[in-house]
Amino acid sequence: MPKTRKTPAKKSQPLAATLKPYVAPYRCDGTAPFRLKFHPTDDRGGLDKDAAAEIIASNLKHIEDLQQRLYATDRWAVLLIFQGMDAAGKDSAIEHVFAGVNPQGVDVASFKTPSPLELNHDFLWRASTQLPQRGRIGIFNRSHYEECLIVRVHPEILAKEKLPPQLVTRNIWRERFEDINAYERYLARNGTLILKFFLNVSKEEQRRRFLERLEQPAKRWKFAMDDATERGLWDKYQAAYQDVIAHTSTPWAPWHVVPADHKWFARVVIGATIVSALEQLDLHFPEVDKKELPVFTRVARALEAEAKVGKAKRGKRKSPTRRGGGIGASEA
C-alpha cells in the first residue's frame, strides 16, 4: 500500500506581513516621487467596518504588549507625529489607537501658538523639549512641521520669530526641510523610532464634519472661527503639505499618508503601521541573571510561608465557641 504524504501545516504569516497591505501603500520614505493628488482620501483598503473592527482590536492588544516590552527594554524611544487639516481626525485617532496603552508610558504634546519664550529660540527648540525618553512613546499632535505649514501660509507669523533679516530668503523653506531631515536623522541615530502620519482628509469631508460640529451642541466647542478662515486657504495648505512630505520623507523618518475620510480605516492604517514598526525592533523583556534565581526562590518560599501563617491565624480567630442546644433549645 503506497504511503500517503502528510500535508505540512501552513505556517502563520509574520505579523508585519499580515499588516503590510495596510502599511506599504501609504508609506512615503523618499525612495519614489511624491504627489499628494495621487493619494485618495476615501480609500478603505478593501475592508468593511466589521473587518476593520477586528484588525483595530488586534492592533490594540499588540500595541499594549509592545509598549510594555518597550518600557522594560528601556533602549528605544518612539516618536509619533500627527499632522492634518482641521477636523482630519487627529485627536480621535490618538484616542482610539492608544485606548489600551498604559498612560504612564505615553506623553502627548500639542503644539499651539508659540509662546514668547519659544519665539526667542530656534524653530526646533520647543519640539526638542517634548521629546520622549527611552522606553516611552511620545505623541506630537501637530509638531515642528507647523513651522513649514502654517508659518508658510501666514508670512506674518514668520516675522514674529525674530530671525535676522538677512536669513529670511526665498530658500528658507528648503533650508528648514534640510534642518528637519538632519534633526530627525540625529534622533534616529540615537535610538528614537520616528513615524509621521498625515491624515489626508478631503475638503468635502471637512465641510461635513464642520457642519456636524455646528449642529450638535455637544460638539460645538470643537469649532472655532479660525477653522472657517483656514478652510478658505485650503489650496495653499495642500501645496505646503505637498512640499513638506516630498522633501522630508526619509527611510529613517517616513511619512504615512493616511486616507482619513473614513475614521475607522485611518485607525486601521495608523495602528498597523505602529505595530509593524515596533515588531521590527525585536523587543524582549530583560532576562534575569541566573545567579539571582536562587534568591528569588528563597523570597518566594518566604512569601508562601507568610501566607500559610496568616491563614492559620485567621482560622483561629474565626472559630466560634460552641454552646449546647440549637434553635428552640431554651423552649425545651
pLDDT tens across 54-92, in order?
999 999 999 999 999 999 999 999 999 999 999 999 999
- How many Cα atoms occupy the beta-carbon half-sphere of 9 within 13 Å? 2
Domain for residue 187, yes or no? Answer: yes
62 with 195, same domain? Answer: yes
Q: Nearest to residue 137, comparing CAs of 95, 77, 221? A: 77
End-to-end CA distance of the chain: 87
pLDDT tens sequence across 100-131: 899 999 999 999 999 999 999 999 999 999 99
Average pLDDT of every residue of the chain: 91
272 with 296, same domain? Answer: no
Domain for residue 3, yes or no? Answer: no
Domain for residue 331, yes or no? Answer: no
How high is the pLDDT of residue 319?
58
pLDDT of 229 above 80: yes
Phi/psi of residue 7, nearest 5 degrees: -75, 120
Domain for residue 234, yes or no? Answer: yes
The whole domain housing 305 covers 290-316
Tell me the CA distances in angstroms from 12 to 55, 57, 128, 246, one per residue in order.
Answer: 16, 19, 41, 36
- CATH number, domain of 125, equals 3.40.50.300
297 with 193, same domain? Answer: no
154 with 79, same domain? Answer: yes
* Residue 223 banded pLDDT, cuts 50, 70, 90: confident
170 with 257, same domain? Answer: yes
pLDDT of 145 above 50: yes
Geometric angle at alpha carbon 133, from 96 and 182, rounded to 5°: 95
Domain for residue 217, yes or no? Answer: yes
Tell me the CA distances in angstroms from 45 to 25, 89, 184, 242, one per residue in order.
Answer: 9, 18, 30, 23
242 with 113, same domain? Answer: yes
- Where residue 172 falls (left for φ over 0; alpha for ψ -120 to 50; beta otherwise) is alpha
| Global pTM value | 0.86
27 with 77, same domain? Answer: yes
Domain for residue 7, yes or no? Answer: no
Separation CA 195–CA 212 (nearest Å)? 30
C-alpha cell at 140: 506630537
Domain for residue 323, yes or no? Answer: no
Percent of the chain with pLDDT over 70: 90
Tell me the CA distances in angstroms from 130 to 71, 81, 143, 282, 326, one per residue in order.
Answer: 18, 12, 10, 26, 73
45 with 80, same domain? Answer: yes
* Residue 14 banded pLDDT, cuts 50, 70, 90: confident
309 with 251, same domain? Answer: no
pLDDT of 309 above 90: no
pLDDT of 312 above 90: no
Give the total number of structural domains in the chain: 2
223 with 299, same domain? Answer: no
Domain for residue 10, yes or no? Answer: no
Select the more confidently predicted residue: 300 or 210. 210
C-alpha cell at 137: 512613546
Question: Strand, coil or helix: what is 152?
Answer: helix
* Residue 318 banded pLDDT, cuts 50, 70, 90: low
234 with 312, same domain? Answer: no
pLDDT tens sequence across 265-284: 999 999 999 999 999 999 99
pLDDT of 170 above 60: yes
For the beta sheet containing 77-84, the strands, ordered from the edge strand earlier in sequence to the opposite edge, are 27-28, 255-259, 192-200, 77-84, 137-141, 106-110
pLDDT of 6 above 60: no
219 with 304, same domain? Answer: no
